Amino acid sequence: MAMERELLKNAASKPCTLIYPFEKREMPKGCRGKHNYDEAKCTGCGMCSRVCPSFAIELKGLGPKCEGLKINLGACLFCQQCEESCPTGAIWLTTEYELAVINKADEILDFKRTPRTPVAPATKPAAPAVNPVVPKEVNG
């Protein structure tokens, strides 16, 4: 008798689950998902790869010669250390959580960056040449 009572009570109520992949839940703001990268902000300092506890971030070059970075999502802990340590905010985590792949090679994000040519410091214009004043000999 108790089972019939539960059955009737739950038959009239709304289901507590979603029909996933057709209905997707809105993720909260603090959810840590897939990485995103802004190449214009990146200085190539390498802080993101240095602080990564699982060594999931690999920088391709340093400084102005940096050609981008690779992030291995299979090794990533999604701890957000890379985002917190980036001085320019060039890397951040989105709320995208559907990261399942069939091939292991597909779990590596390869972000490209156009290497910047170092800007030479501006040279000061040469001071105009001053004709030295030669003292005249005084005949006494």
**pLDDT, greater one: 9 or 117:** 9
Phi, psi of 119 (to 5 degrees): -85, 125
> Could you tell me if 71 and 111 are in contact, meaning their C-beta atoms sit under 8 angstroms apart?
yes
Mean of the pLDDT values across residues 114-137?
67
Phi, psi of 133 (to 5 degrees): -85, 120
Residue 8 has pLDDT above 60, yes or no: yes
> Could you tell me if 69 and 57 are in contact, meaning their C-beta atoms sit under 8 angstroms apart?
yes
- Identity of the residue numbered 55: F
Q: How far apart are CA 140 and CA 19, in angstroms?
A: 114
Q: Which pLDDT band holds residue 102 (cuts at 50, 70, 90)?
A: very high
In the CATH scheme, what architecture does the domain 28-112 have? 2-Layer Sandwich (3.30)
pLDDT at residue 140 in the model:
55
Percent of the chain with pLDDT over 90: 46
User: What are 81's two structure tokens?
Assistant: 């250390």
pLDDT at residue 130 in the model:
65
Mean of the pLDDT values across residues 56-65?
90
Q: Which residues pair with 57 in a beta bridge?
A: 71
Residue 131 has pLDDT above 80, yes or no: no
Domain ranges for the chain: 28-112
Q: Is 87 left (phi over 0), alpha (psi -120 to 50) or beta?
A: alpha
Mean of the pLDDT values across residues 67-94?
94
Can you tell me whether residue 58 is helix, strand or coil? strand
User: What are 87's two structure tokens?
Assistant: 């001085």
Residue 135 has pLDDT above 70, yes or no: no
Residue 81 has pLDDT above 90, yes or no: yes
